[in-house]
Amino acid sequence: MNILALESSCDETAAAVVRDGREVLSNCVASQIKEHMLYGGVVPEIASRRHTEAVSLITRQALDEAGVTLKEIDAIAVTHAPGLIGALLVGVNFAKGLATAANLPLIPVHHLRSHIAANYLAHSDLKPPFLCLIVSGGHSHIVRVEDYTKFTVIGRTRDDAAGECFDKAARAMGMPYPGGVHLDKAAGLGDPGAFTLPRPHVDGSPYDFSFSGLKTAVINLLHKAEQRGETVNTNDLSASFQYTVCDILCTRFLAAARMTGDKTLVLAGGVSANSGLRDRMDAACRENGLQLFVPPLSLCGDNAAMVGSQGYYEFLAGNTAGPDLNACATLSIE
Ligand code: KG4
Ligand code: ZN
């Protein structure tokens, strides 16, 4: 079954063709990052406009690169939630129009479910159940993937997402948007023990996260240094920050795995590209006899191939939509 998939939840307009949920025939992304970089973050209005301009061309490109025509497509999958509402609406409406014109089933896909599915594209042996840490720019969740379309949230952030925290800390250190990847590089050159940063807990919720206090600590540290006329070694601060975030994520993820008894752990989302997180989880899983799956770097960020993969399993479960499909800015993964 060939699925044409579309993704426009944030600042990438993406289209892909995926066969039987596991084989990527094409995966095309038109990134808007250069434009949002001017403003230090995503400007929703600009994102929607750029999606509108790019969506037809990127879809054409995905079909051409896959070497298939619309006649060889069996269904259309689209990210319908969660994300920037104006951005989502572009993909959803385009997919609805195409599905109606080509008389094809329409499959709504949850963005976080698709981040998890990025792993199915790279690891043919990965099957639910497993425990997943989803860390992206907008979300940080520990989720038990009971089946391809059945999810139980074990923990979540109470405030900022891990990626947001990376981006804000990076911005405070003068790095361009999105700062996560720049902070990761700087961390590789610094001393993780140079600064002691807070590790906020959520009382009574051992698997939840809270990152806003950590973000504020970094911003305050930089402000105070500036007021005193001191310079901060940003490589050291990056390394200490990254060490702290990864420590929080790994400790709670492993504690959740001990509680659920899962032996298969999976990382997903943009922050799963972080070298500190990958190394730390790799070492912890080896030590504890757990099997770890991580997406390849090319599939960590937003893309449409992961939507095509999850879309396949949603279709098998009968989760299709009619022409009244709407986009939602927020929606539980469950
Ligand atoms: O999943 P994603 O592409 O978009 C959302 O659904 O939000 O995640 C984007 C986030 C950004 O915050 C970005 O800075 C972060 O992932 N990110 C990283 C790295 N690469 C991307 N954070 C830390 N280290 C990285 N290497
Ligand atoms: Zn994402």
Name which of 165-169, 200-204, 263-267 the model is least confident about: 200-204
Q: Do domains 2-116+300-316 and 128-297 have the same CATH topology?
A: yes
The predicted pLDDT at position 90 comes to 98
Cα 228 to ligand 1 centroid, rounded to whole Å? 32
> Domain residues of the chain, as ranges?
2-116+300-316, 128-297
Q: Residues 66, 304: contact at Cβ < 8 Å? A: no
Q: Which residue's alpha carbon is nearest to atom 1 within ligand 1?
A: 270
Q: Which residue's alpha carbon is nearest to atom 23 within ligand 1?
A: 180
Q: What is the pTM of this model?
A: 0.97
58-64 mean pLDDT: 98
Cα 331 to ligand 2 centroid, rounded to whole Å? 14
155-169 mean pLDDT: 96
Pocket test for ligand 1, best of 9, 36, 271, 331 (most atoms within 8 A of CB): 271
Cα 215 to ligand 1 centroid, rounded to whole Å? 16
Atom of ligand 1 nearest to the CA of 302: 3
The predicted pLDDT at position 320 comes to 98
Q: Residues 11, 42: contact at Cβ < 8 Å? A: yes
Atom of ligand 1 nearest to the CA of 179: 14
Cα 307 to ligand 2 centroid, rounded to whole Å? 11
Nearest listed ligand to the Cα of residue 109: 2
What protein residues have CB closer than 5 angstroms to ion ligand 2?
136, 302
Q: Which residue's alpha carbon is nearest to atom 24 within ligand 1?
A: 274
Cα 168 to ligand 1 centroid, rounded to whole Å? 12
Nearest listed ligand to the Cα of residue 273: 1
174-180 mean pLDDT: 95
The predicted pLDDT at position 304 comes to 98
Residue with tokens 């590789």: 188
| CA-wise closest residue to 293 among 116, 109, 148 | 116
Pocket lining for ligand 1, CB < 6 angstroms: 10, 115, 136-138, 163, 166-167, 178-181, 184, 269-271, 273-274, 301-302
What is the token pair recorded at 185? 């590089």
Atom of ligand 1 nearest to the CA of 162: 12
Q: What would the pLDDT profile of 3-57 be if each residue is shown by its tens digit?
A: 999 999 999 999 999 999 999 999 999 999 999 999 989 999 999 999 999 999 9
The predicted pLDDT at position 257 comes to 98
pLDDT-derived band of residue 282, with 50, 70 and 90 as boundaries?
A: very high
| Length of the chain as a residue count | 334
The predicted pLDDT at position 127 comes to 98
The predicted pLDDT at position 308 comes to 98
User: Of all residues in the chain, what percent carry a pLDDT higher than 90?
Assistant: 98
| CA-wise closest residue to 48 among 77, 4, 91 | 91
The predicted pLDDT at position 236 comes to 98
322-326 mean pLDDT: 96
What is the homologous superfamily of the domain 2-116+300-316 according to CATH?
ATPase, nucleotide binding domain (3.30.420.40)
Mean pLDDT of the chain: 97
Atom of ligand 1 nearest to the CA of 276: 24
Cα 193 to ligand 2 centroid, rounded to whole Å? 31
Q: Residues 11, 46: contact at Cβ < 8 Å? A: no
Cα 147 to ligand 2 centroid, rounded to whole Å? 21
The predicted pLDDT at position 161 comes to 96
The edge-to-edge listing of strands for the beta sheet with 12-19 is: 23-31, 12-19, 2-7, 75-81, 106-110
CA 7 – CA 15 distance, rounded (Å): 6
Count Cα neighbours of 113 within 13 Å in the Cβ-side half-sphere.
30
Atom of ligand 1 nearest to the CA of 115: 1
Q: What would the pLDDT profile of 72-108 be if each residue is shown by its tens digit?
A: 999 999 999 999 999 999 999 999 999 999 999 999 9
User: Of all residues in the chain, what percent carry a pLDDT higher than 70?
Assistant: 100
The predicted pLDDT at position 311 comes to 98
Say which CATH class 128-297 falls into.
alpha beta
